[in-house]
Amino acid sequence: MAERERIVGIDLGTTNSLVAYMEADGPVIIPSEDGTRLVPSVVALTEDGAAVGNAARKTLVERPQDAVYSAKRLMGRGVEDVREELKLFPFRLAQNIQPGDVLRLKLRDRELTPPEISAYILQQLKRNAERYFGGPITKAVVTVPAYFNDAQRQATKDAGRIAGLEVLRLVNEPTAAALAYGLDRNHEGTVAVYDFGGGTFDVSILKLSDGIFEVIATSGDTHLGGDDLDNLLLTVALDDIAGEMKIDVRQSGEAVQRLRSAVIDAKIELSSQEEATIDITLPGDEPYRRTITREQFEQLAEPVLQRTAGPVRQALKDAGITPEQIDEVVLVGGSTRIPRVRALVDDLFRLSARGKQPHTELNPDEVVALGAAVQAHILSGGSVATEDMLLLDVTPLSLGIEALGGVVAKIIQRNSTVPASATEHFTTGLEGQTNVAIHVVQGERELAADCRSLARFDLTGIPPMAAGLPRIEVKFLIDANGILHVSAREQRSGKESEIEVKPTYGLTDDQVETMILESFDYAEDDFRKRQAIEARLEAEKLLELVDKAPKHPAWKQLDAIEIANIAETKSALEKLKNSDDYKAIRTSMEALDKATRRFAELQLDDAVSSAIRGQTMTEAGDHIGDGPTAPHPFAPAEIEER
């Protein structure tokens, strides 16, 4: 039997990303080349091309304008959504972004959309997996926060396409975690997953029964995470420095970055220690030192942590159960290491009161990726380990259409199991009207303006009829990834209406195609730069040899034209060698090579006759080594033309 294609599971996180694969005895994290398991979700552009993860962190500190982190916060969002984000994160938006445009970030000399930035991270994970397996990886399951809306999901799928990965399924992060825990299949009953990560918070309530993982309700906040705690600590430190030391370091990107990483270290330390000390040197060699106690941190963090309580209560309410009916609680995400978070969870689900403990056996940073690998395995056909395992997930937000007066008519309720569909009928309001505009939104609010605009459709090509006579059936279908599809039919004429889907915040198919091409272009660009560096090194070696040539006796045998020719081609190469055009460098090298060919031959003859005259081979060799030999050592490198 042919070997099944490997499908990997990817956790594309706000702070860290991971790739995992289901081996025969369970899911494993695939390490990076440097042996680390977490790839920081940082992308940097350097003169050698894009760097991702730990390699990009250095750039983040030294040249913050060339690096970006937490880009997941911007996925599928418009410029008017991210104002608050921009105050807290050093995202540098490109100029002239209009409302409704996909965001573009300035990074070094380029402008990148959030999906393109995520694509760099996915490409790195793909490479890690390819190195691990020694073969190509083209398919993946990628996790998203359960509370991600349609645009954010679509953006994640687009990122996969740009990275050269077919995203077979988007799996909700808390559900993936439940899958990882549910592998032993002894779990039955009702489970709550509390997933507090770097940038997002999700809570899902699942019913486990005989291998079926049925999500009953989910809720969350896509902009609530450990990042927010970091920002609080950072603000305190910056105010501190500005107030007591009268230094404003906010203008120094580098100092802010170093301070940020110091407060993150302190935050982590406070999960195991009663106090932590921030100790760094500011610009101007000013030392800054401050001790924070756990109590101070908890006071500071409390309002942020309390924001997780609302979604928990909402999910319980939607599931129609009380906290006491939750049999097990699973903790996911690095922020669940904070003792105060654990206390809050204990309180929300009345755990210790019922003699229960939350599940923390699996590493909270890795559990989502492990679950993604399990789902990838199920999609590839499964095995005894995953037999009968099936995930039934829900859509986190209600889907609606804008009706008269800007109010929303809900057509698919939140927490509906996906795939889910709804059929609506529309008609015309004017005699002979041939198109009808439909505005699709996602959210729970009453007014369309308060919901998330997903797309505007134009039902076009309606046969002209009296007002109200056409009957257009529009089918809305949310697929297993939580992504909306729309189709329409005019029923009286039986004509399929054409629908032009214009996603409000997403990339169009054409845009994604262009980005795929661009990423090839840039891959080629990176390739070119490498080639140019190699060619330059070889050219310098050649020029060095030519510089020494006049000292050689053979030089005297050259005529004036030959010497002029060498001088001319040499100066041409000297001018060209620092360009990035490796082809031009190579051509110029060939010209100089050709001009010096007779000299090389004379030199060789000279060496041979010297040998006959009784010189040792070693000396002859030395001479030969001094000058160009034939065949020339600087034959052009083999370059595959694309």
Partner 1 sequence: MTQTQLQSAGVVCWACGAEHGPGAPLCPSCNKVQPPVAGADYFAALGLPRLLQIDIAALEKQFYKLSRRLHPDLYATSAPEQQQWSTEQSSLLNDAYRTLKDPVDRTRYLLQLEGASIEGESEKDRAAAKASGKAREQKVPPDLLEEVFELNMQLEELRMGGDDPDLKQQLQSARNGFTQQLGACDTQLQQLWRRWDLAWEAKDESGKSAAKDQLVALLNRRNYIRNLVRDVNEALGE
Which parts of 313-471 are beta strand (E)?
A: 328-332, 390-392, 399-402, 408-412, 420-426, 436-442, 452-460
- Annotation says 11 is catalytic: yes
Q: In the set 417, 434, 460, 557, which binds partner 1 (CB under 8 A)?
A: 417
- The reply on whether position 378 binds partner 1 by CB under 8 A is yes
Of 446-475, binders to partner 1 (CB under 8 A) are 446
Distance from the first to the final alpha carbon of the chain: 36
53, 18, 9: which is closest to 34 by C-alpha? 53
Active site residue: 66, 150, 158, 195, which one?
195
Residue closer to partner 1, measured from CB, 368 or 420: 420
Annotated active-site residue in 72, 157, 570, 577: 72
From 27-35, 257-265, 372-380, 631-639, span contacting partner 1 (CB under 8 A): 372-380
Interaction of residue 407 with partner 1, rule CB under 8 A: yes
Coil, strand or helix at 93: strand
Of the candidate residues 99, 283, 406, 464, the single one contacting partner 1 (CB under 8 A): 406
Contacts of 161 (CB under 8 A, 6+ apart): 167, 512, 516
Give whichever of 480 and 591 is closer to partner 1, judged by the CB atom.
480
Q: Which stretch binds partner 1 (CB under 8 A): 259-267, 415-423, 498-506, 607-615?
A: 415-423
The 476-495 site mask, x for binding partner 1 (CB under 8 A), equals -xxxx---------------
* Closest CB 363 distance from partner 1, rounded Å: 26
- Output 121 or 315, the one with its CB closest to partner 1: 315
CB 545, min distance to partner 1, A: 58
Supply the DSSP string of 154-180, one letter for each residue: HHHHHHHHHTT-EEEEEEEHHHHHHHH
Give the span between the Cα atoms of 513 and 524, in whole angstroms: 17
- Based on CB atoms, which residue is closest to partner 1, 260 or 377? 377
Peptide bond between residue 99 and the one before it cis (omega within 30 degrees of 0): no
CB 266 within 8 A of CB 289: no
Contact between 321 and partner 1 per CB under 8 A: no
195 in active site:
yes
Which one-letter DSSP state was computed for residue 496? P
Minimum distance from CB of 210 to partner 1 (Å)? 7
Q: Is residue 574 near partner 1 by the rule CB under 8 A?
A: no
Q: Which of 347, 501, 525 is CA-nearest to residue 517?
A: 525
Please state, in angstroms and rounded to a whole number, the distance separating the CA atoms of residues 331 and 125.
25
Structure-block tokens of residue 412: 């698919």
| Shortest Cβ 394–partner 1 spacing (Å) | 9
Please identify, using beta-carbon distances, which residue of 117 and 478 lies nearer to partner 1: 478
According to DSSP, the β-strands at 139-144 and 110-112 are unpaired
Closest distance of CB 508 from partner 1, Å:
20
User: CB of 325: closest distance to partner 1 in angstroms?
Assistant: 17
Nearer to partner 1, 26 or 381 (CB): 381
- Choice among 11, 158, 202, 228 that is catalytic: 11
Smallest gap from Cβ 433 to partner 1, in A, equals: 19
User: Tokens 């019913």 appear where?
Assistant: 207
| Burial annotation 122-133 (CB, 10 A radius, 16+ → b, else e) | bbbbbbbbbebe
Nearer Cβ to partner 1 (59/395) = 395
Least Å distance, CB 377 to partner 1, is 11
Closest distance to partner 1 from the beta carbon of 464 (Å): 24
Asked if residue 501 lies in contact with residue 460, where contact means CB atoms within 8 angstroms, the answer is: no
How far apart (Å, rounded) are the C-alpha atoms in residues 466 and 472?
14
Does 190 bind partner 1 (CB under 8 A)? Our answer is no
Check binding of 587 to partner 1 (CB under 8 A): no
Neighbours of 359 (CB within 10 A): 19
* DSSP character string of 222-249: TT-SHHHHHHHHHHHHHHHHHHHS---G
Catalytic one among 116, 158, 173, 228? Answer: 173
Whichever of 245 and 411 has its CB closer to partner 1, that residue is 411
With CB under 8 A as the contact rule, the residue among 420, 507, 592, 600 that binds partner 1 is: 420
Residue 172 sits at φ, ψ, to 5 deg, of -70, 135
Out of 209, 277, 293, 571, the only residue in the binding site for partner 1 (CB under 8 A) is: 209
Enumerate residues 6+ apart whose C-beta is below 8 A from 121: 12, 17, 39, 41, 43, 52, 53
Count the residues of the shown chain that bind partner 1, applying the rule CB under 8 A: 37
Query: Rounded to an integer, what distance in angstroms lies between the CA atom of residue 145 and that of residue 411?
Result: 23
Q: Determine if 433 is a binding residue for partner 1 (CB under 8 A).
A: no
Under rule CB under 8 A, residue 437 binds partner 1: no
Shortest Å distance, C-beta 415 to partner 1: 9
For partner 1, which stretch binds (CB under 8 A), given 71-79, 90-98, 322-330, 408-416?
A: 408-416
For partner 1, the closer CB: 113 or 218 = 218
**What is the enclosing helix (H) or strand (E) of 289?**
strand 286-293
Site for partner 1 in 139-178 (CB under 8 A): 168-169
Our CB check for partner 1 shows the closer of 59 and 453 to be: 453
Continuous H helices in 398-505: none
Options 183, 391, 436, 440; binder of partner 1; rule CB under 8 A: 391
Query: Catalytic annotation on 72?
Result: yes
β-strand pairing of 212-221 with 390-392: parallel
- As a whole number of angstroms, the distance between CA 568 and CA 210 comes to 82
Catalytic residue status for 318: no
Q: Which is nearer to partner 1, 286 or 446 (CB)?
A: 446
Of 55-63, 97-105, 259-267, 411-419, the segment contacting partner 1 by CB under 8 A is: 411-419
Considering Cα of 4, then 6, then 7, then 8, what sign does the dihedral take? positive
Binding residues for partner 1 (CB under 8 A): 5, 168-169, 209-210, 212, 375, 378-381, 388, 390-392, 403-411, 416-422, 424, 446, 477-480
Q: What is the set of active-site residues?
A: 11, 72, 173, 195
